[in-house]
Structure formats: structure tokens, C-alpha cells
């Protein structure tokens, strides 16, 4: 499924799928749906295949990545696959000693807090992440018409893990660096933007149909600070990919006050958490972008009639935007009953069939 001249997607194949069409604000036969963290611990088949293999090691085995990525597609019939990987994979490839600790998250051996520390982050090339290139190529062949989403962490969220040395509630050291040594902060985010952009380009060259930039912790910032310290770097990543023609999704949590600014970074689609209704989000983002979201992941633990009413509400509110990709407002929680996820996919498809 190559591209016709002029960057228009050829008909058929993943470029003509409901998911990619919704990202491009084109008419769709039904509202497409996928779930952030759809591949992972909510699935017994995932827990089984991952048993005894550390997380980062799993990300470096293309055949395993392929199988784990396919699991939720087979089980739930979602409209898109998301590559099984992690936001810290390119940072590890750039020379930072880190691990992903079960139940905790990424842990960095020597946190990055000075100009000299920033020098430890070197640029990456495809050779540093050849396992990702290989996994994407395997997946594109196996997925057929189902699109594959590539992803990366945004500079702020990556910087938070590097500066704090691990997960953080208040991002105290991160903000201390940002306010106290802005030139070091901008140097760090500049390098992270380059690493992220190259990591996404590797995935795009290997054939992903869309990319999502995860700025999960951006909601910790005021709009003014977001605009000064973060937006230029996320914009460099997203606008730097404009020439690829691949739709770009920009996502964060707790970003009600940042939605307008996040839209300005150059994405085609803005991801919205459950705190902001999609029609209100569209007013903030502007009328020319698609939205993605936004069922509260905790809602999946409610009785089915409650879930059904929420799905109806979200589909209705999503009509305010020129394109809607149904998703959760953040990732699937490990305790989620996977059968409920399958039912949500069916419900979204049934209710939105045009």
C-alpha cells in the first residue's frame, strides 16, 4: 500500500482504514477504537508469554514484540495495533543506563541533572534500535489492512524520568532544573527531541501508519510553563515529521488547560483524558483537529449499563470534532477484565455504524 503522488494515501490497506481516515478527518464507516496499553497485563496470554523475560529484553525480541502486539488485535478486534515497546527504549539506546522495574516503572541508574550529564545522551540511528525496525516490518506484513501505531515519549515526560531517576508524583527535581538551569533544561529537551524524532522516523520508514507522542506527565505544568519549557521541543518533534504524511497524535493526562497549546504543536489528533468532555475539548483545540479518547479506565470496572451510557455519551460528544478515535483517557489498568474491553469495541462499532 504505497502512496500515490502528492502524498495522498492509495486506496485500500491500512492508509484507508477507519482509524487513519478518522485521524485525517475523512468520513468513516464506523468510529475506530483502540486502547492505550491494550497489549499488556490485562491479558492472560500476555502474562504467560512474558513470564521470566524482563520488560526491556522483551522489547528487543522482534518475534515476541510481534506476538504481544497482535494479542489484543486478535482478541478484541480493535481498529489499530500499537507497537509493543516502551517510551524509555530509545533513551536506553542513546546510552542511558536504565531498567523497567515491575510494579514501579523506569528506573535510571545515574539521573541526568547537569550539563555534563546531558552529554551522556548521544544521538541514535536505526542501528541502535534495529530490533524496532525489524518488529515493525514483521507486524506490517502480519497486520494486513489493520494499521500499526508507532509511538515515543515526549521530551518533558522522558526528561522527568531521567531527572528524577524514576517515577515521580510532583516532578520536583524536574521543575527545579527547568526553573533553576533553563539552559541545561533546554539542552536536555533538545537532545530528547532529536532522539524521539529519529525513533519515530525509524518506525515510519519501517511502515507504521500513524504515530503517537506520549506526554503523559505534561499535565503537571501550567500553560505558561508548558509553552515556555516544553512546547518548542514537542513542536520540533511533531512538525519535523510533517513531510512523512503519517498522522500524528499528541497525548497527555490532566491536560485540560493545555489542550489548545498541545494542538499547536503540530499534531493531527489530540488525545484527551476523561476529565474534559470531547465537545469542550474541541472548543479548546480548535475545529481543525481530530480528538482521541476518552473513557475513564476506571469506568471499565462499573456495571455494564453504566459503561454503555458512558460510551454513548462519548460518541455523541466526539461528533463535535471533525474526527474521533475512541480510546480510554489513559492506559488500560492491569486488573481490567479483558472481556469488557471486547464488549466496548463491539458497542462502539454498533453504535457508530454509518
Annotated binding site: 37-41, 86, 161, 216, 330
> Is 46 a catalytic site residue?
no
Q: How far apart are CB 6 and ligand CP3 at their closest, in Å? A: 32
- Positions touching ligand CP3 (CB under 6 A) are 36-41, 50, 55, 82, 84, 86-87, 100, 102-106, 151, 214, 216, 331
How many CA within 13 A on the CB side of residue 316? 6
What CA–CA distance (Å, rounded) separates 57 from 314?
38
- Give residue 311's Cα distance to chain centre: 21
Residues in binding site for substrate: 37-41, 86, 161, 216, 330
CB 272 → ligand CP3: shortest distance, Å?
14
- Among residues 25 and 193, whose Cβ is nearest to ligand CP3? 193
Least distance in angstroms from the C-beta of 354 to ligand CP3: 28
Q: Is 37 a catalytic residue?
A: yes
Nearest C-alpha neighbor of 274 from the set 292, 290, 249, 287 = 292
Cβ 96 vs Cβ 36: under 8 Å: no
Question: Please, what is the minimum distance in Å from the beta carbon of residue 334 to ligand CP3?
Answer: 7
Which lies closer to ligand CP3 via its Cβ, residue 107 or residue 181? 107
For residue 137, give the C-alpha cell.
516490518
Asked if 226 and 34 touch (Cβ cutoff 8 Å), the reply is: no
The residue nearest ligand CP3 at its CB is: 216
Q: Are 164 and 174 in contact (CB under 8 A)?
A: yes
Coil, strand or helix: which one is 43? coil
For residue 153, what are the β-bridge partners?
214
Residue closer to ligand CP3, measured from CB, 160 or 352: 160
Give the residue with the Cβ less far from ligand CP3, 105 or 322: 105
Q: Is 86 labeled as catalytic in the residue annotation?
A: yes
Contacts of 330 (CB under 8 A, 6+ apart): 36, 216, 253, 273, 274, 297
Burial of 336: CB neighbours in 10 Å, binned 0-12, 13-18, 19+: buried
| Least Å from the CB of residue 113 to ligand CP3 | 20
Which residue out of 21, 24, 25, 50 is catalytically annotated?
Answer: 50
Q: What angle do CA 317, 322, 327 make, to 5 degrees?
A: 55
The residues with which 82 forms a beta bridge, in sequence order, are: 149
Cell of 85: 515497546
Q: Which is nearer to ligand CP3, 199 or 214 (CB)?
A: 214
Order of strands, edge to edge, in the sheet holding 210-215? 81-82, 148-153, 210-215, 248-252, 269-271, 290-295, 324-328
Query: From CA 176, how far away is CA 54, in angstroms rounded?
Result: 32
Number of Cβ within a 10 Å radius of residue 6: 6
| Closer residue to ligand CP3 (CB): 172 or 224 | 172
Note if 161 is an active site residue.
Answer: yes
Catalytic residue among 161, 201, 226, 284: 161
Query: Least distance (Å) from ligand CP3 to the CB of residue 86?
Result: 4
Report, as residue numbers or ranges, the catalytic residues: 37, 41, 50, 86, 161
Amino acid at each position: 500500500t504505497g502512496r500515490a503522488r502528492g502524498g495522498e494515501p492509495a486506496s485500500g490497506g491500512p492508509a484507508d482504514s477507519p482509524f487513519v481516515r478518522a485521524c485525517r478527518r475523512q468520513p468513516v464507516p464506523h468510529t475506530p477504537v483502540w486502547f492505550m496499553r491494550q497489549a499488556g497485563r490485562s491479558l492472560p496470554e500476555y502474562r504467560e508469554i512474558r513470564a521470566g523475560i524482563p520488560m526491556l529484553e522483551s522489547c528487543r525480541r522482534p518475534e515476541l514484540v510481534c506476538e504481544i502486539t497482535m494479542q489484543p488485535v486478535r482478541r478484541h478486534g480493535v481498529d489499530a495495533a500499537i507497537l509493543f515497546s516502551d517510551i524509555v527504549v530509545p533513551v536506553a539506546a542513546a546510552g542511558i543506563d536504565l531498567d523497567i522495574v515491575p510494579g514501579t516503572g523506569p528506573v535510571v541508574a545515574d539521573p541526568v541533572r547537569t550539563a555534563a550529564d546531558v552529554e551522556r545522551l548521544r544521538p541514535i540511528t536505526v542501528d541502535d534500535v534495529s530490533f524496532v525496525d525489524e518488529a515493525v516490518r514483521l507486524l506490517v506484513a502480519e497486520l494486513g489492512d489493520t494499521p500499526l501505531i508507532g509511538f515515543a515519549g515526549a521530551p518533558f515526560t522522558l526528561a522527568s524520568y531521567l531527572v528524577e531517576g524514576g517515577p515521580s508524583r510532583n516532578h520536583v527535581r524536574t521543575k527545579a532544573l527547568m526553573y533553576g538551569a533553563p539552559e541545561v533544561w533546554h539542552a536536555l529537551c533538545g537532545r530528547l527531541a532529536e532522539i524521539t524524532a529519529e525513533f519515530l522516523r525509524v518506525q515510519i520508514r519501517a511502515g507504521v501508519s500513524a504515530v503517537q507522542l506520549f506526554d503523559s506527565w505534561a499535565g503537571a505544568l501550567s500553560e505558561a510553563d508548558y509553552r515556555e519549557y516544553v512546547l518548542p521541543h514537542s513542536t520540533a518533534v511533531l512538525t519535523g515529521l510533517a513531510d512523512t504524511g503519517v498522522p500524528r497524535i499528541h497525548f497527555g493526562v490532566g491536560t485540560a488547560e493545555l489542550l489548545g497549546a498541545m494542538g499547536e504543536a503540530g499534531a493531527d489528533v489530540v488525545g484527551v483524558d476523561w476529565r474534559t468532555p470531547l465537545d469542550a475539548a474541541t472548543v479548546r483545540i480548535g475545529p481543525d483537529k481530530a480528538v482521541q479518547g476518552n473513557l475513564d479506565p476506571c469506568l471499565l470496572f462499573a456495571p455494564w449499563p453504566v459503561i454503555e451510557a458512558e460510551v454513548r455519551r462519548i460518541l455523541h460528544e466526539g461528533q463535535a470534532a471533525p474526527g474521533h478515535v475512541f480510546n480510554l483517557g489513559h492506559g488500560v489498568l492491569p486488573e481490567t477484565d479483558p472481556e469488557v474491553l471486547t464488549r466496548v469495541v463491539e458497542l462502539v462499532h454498533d453504535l457508530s455504524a454509518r
